[in-house]
Structure 1
Amino acid sequence: MTNEEMIKISMKQSAEDIGCKIEDFLNDKNVYVPFKLGANAKKYYKLPIGCNFISYGSNVVAASAEDFYDITNEYINKFLFYHCFETPNIYWLNERLESKGYKVCFMAEYFLPDVNKLKELHCDYELRVLEKEEFSDLYKSEWSNALCSDRKELDVLCVGAYDGDKLIGLAGCSADADDMWQIGVDVLLEYRKRGIACALTSKLAMEILKRGKVPFYCCAWSNIRSAKNAIKSGFVPAWAEMTVKPIDVINEMNK
């Protein structure tokens, strides 16, 4: 699979996620569309969603519910697209959303592999590919980034790093979309900074590609360690997202 094919699949999925067209992400002007969560949207999206902003680097595509049209449209026409994802401009948006009971909730950067950089990386420990039946007993707190106990049915493949018989690192992926599998990784504290995380991530990405799926990786902009792992593993920044949710949902998360 080429880089061009992967980015096209990713844009097609993002279009399904918010109800726009692939061409909207390639426009040199910001684009507004009514928000529509597609039947084949990524499985972690949960309604209600007031607005969702996505940028692949050329513009921002903003999708919102009808009640937020005026606010969203003014926002993306007031600020440069990349400033729409940062303060102080987000404060402008939040002040207007708050009267409707919503605020900015999620902000993240997403990575796709670069096939010219992706390769198996050296690891001092044995790496093993684990199919679904082989990691069913690994839903433990130390592997909470690699596996999700709330959505076990979506976890499809793992790569484990072993020191003898001891599992010391785990990368797992969830089938969050029909053609895209998301990677998460954990390494035991005492084994960190030894190149294990990037060896696991790159190995799992290649296994995903062998199965005809697109691997993707997500982290917060402030999670420098995770972003460095993505880059060391052969991934590059692909798109950014920002999602607006009800204030009571946000407050519940902050308890």
Structure 2
Amino acid sequence: MEVEIMEFNKSKILEIVRRQLAIDMNCNPEDFINEGIVFCEAKLNQGRRMFDRQSPFLEIATMGKSIVVSGDSEILAKVKPLLENKTREDIFVAPFIFGHTIYYVPDYSRLKKLPMPSGFSYHIKEGNETHDLYEIPGFENAIQYDKSHPRPDVIAVYAMYDDEIVAMAGASADCNLMWQIGIDVLPRFRNRGLATSLVSNLAIMIMERGILPYYGTASSNISSQSVAYRSGFIPTWMCSYKNIFDGKAPYDNDIKIIF
């Protein structure tokens, strides 16, 4: 049964995010609205977002107040004394993490279907139909290109110019509560409003199914952040991207600073 989009509001959206992050990080939803730092041992809980995890695992997240640090027990024992008296800003520049991801959810007061730019045709594929698009390279942010992916593609909305697909927004079923949106536009068709229109329309399609859409981008990717904002999304949480404990941090073997 299709769920009306009106069942969503700001309070419900934030509640869903807290519930999902609590599953992912093995903490309580309330941990994200209190002050201070919460340390919790990581577990592969049922219902988590099906991302690959580094081993050893450490992830740090905030929704703006508290900071939740989730990690394997041996890592927590080492990093807790280093972090427990630090500010939020200091924690997120700790030398053992690198990269930050900002996640967005719909701003209920601004989200609306934006008109599609003229001169293009628009198409939708759902479920297994999205596999037809795997033959077309260049849209790695929008679709998985993997029929057996643990976060399967569920919807793709794309724009065509003549006989060519030039822009695509896709949704992956990361978990039961939330589907993630990714967007790609071919370089010569950018700055025409395709990204914001596709993302906003896809977001509403997802919410009409009773699922919360979300959008993630690197903290340095200003263009992607602009798309999120123009599409009716608002930044809601930030988390560390990776840690260095597996020895795969960029520049680890390249930079030797000598004073």
Match in the other structure for 1:143: 139
Looking at structure 2, the residues matched to 244 and 138 of structure 1 have their Cα atoms a distance apart, in angstroms, of 33
2:113 alignment partner, one of 113, 120, 126: 120
Change (3 A) 1:198 1:71: same
Shift of 1:115: 1.5
Once the two structures are aligned, what percentage of the paired residues are identical?
30
CA drift at 1:83: 3.2
* TM-score normalised to structure 1 length: 0.86
Gaps of 5+ in 1: 95-103
Q: For structure 1, which segment, 144-153 or 163-172, has the greater mean C-alpha deviation from structure 2 after superposition?
A: 144-153
Give the aligned residue type for 2:200: S
Q: Does 1:129 align with 2:128?
A: no
Tell me the CA shift for residue 126 of structure 1.
3.3
Look up the SS of the partner of 1:157 in the other structure.
Answer: strand
Residue 223 in structure 1 maps to residue 216 in structure 2:
no
More displaced 10-residue stretch of structure 1: 69-78 or 28-37 = 69-78
What's 1:191 paired with? 189
Aligned mates of 1:247, 1:28 — CA distance in 2: 31
Structure 1 position 110, deviation (Å): 0.5
SS at match of 1:142: coil
- Structure whose residues are more often helix by fraction: 1
Q: Which moved more, 1:200-209 or 1:49-58?
A: 49-58
Output one character per residue of 1:143-175: Cα deviation in whole Å (capped at 9) or x when no partner. Answer: 111001246551000111122443211000100
| Distance (Å, rounded) in 2 between the aligned partners of 1:126 and 1:116 | 29
Q: After superposition, give the CA deviation of every residue in 1:72-110 in whole Å (9 maximum; x if it has no partner).
A: 322332321233223xxx22xx2xxxxxxxxx2552110
Instruction: Indicate if the aligned counterparts of 1:130 and 1:159 stay in contact, CA closer than 8 A.
Output: yes
Contact 2:130 2:154 in 1 (8 A): no
Which of 203, 217, 225 is the matching residue for 1:205? 203
Q: Distance in 2 between matches of 1:12 and 1:45?
A: 20
Picking from 175, 178, 181, the partner of 1:180 is: 178
Q: Answer yes or no: is the 8 Å Cα contact 2:196–2:227 preserved in 1.
A: yes
Q: Which runs of 5+ in 2 are unaligned?
A: 1-7, 254-259
CA contact (8 A) 2:112 2:201 kept: yes
Q: 1:111 & 1:52 partners in 2: Cα distance?
A: 18
> Match for 1:144: what amino acid?
E
Map of 1:97 onto structure 2: none
Alpha carbons of structure 1 residues 6 and 223: separation in structure 2 relative to 1, 3 Å: same
Q: Bigger CA drift: 24-33 or 194-203?
A: 24-33
Answer whether contact 2:55 2:246 (CA < 8 A) is retained.
no
Q: How far apart are 1:66 and its partner, in Å?
A: 1.7
RMSD: 2.0
Q: 1:48 touches 1:245 (CA, 8 Å); kept in 2?
A: no
Q: Where has structure 1 moved over 4 Å in runs of 4 or more?
A: none
Matched residue type, 1:145: N
- Contact 2:67-2:88 within 8 A present in 1 as well: yes
Report the AA paired with residue 133 of structure 2: L
How far residue 142 of structure 1 moved from its aligned partner, in angstroms, is 1.0
Q: What's the TM-score, normalizing by structure 2?
A: 0.85
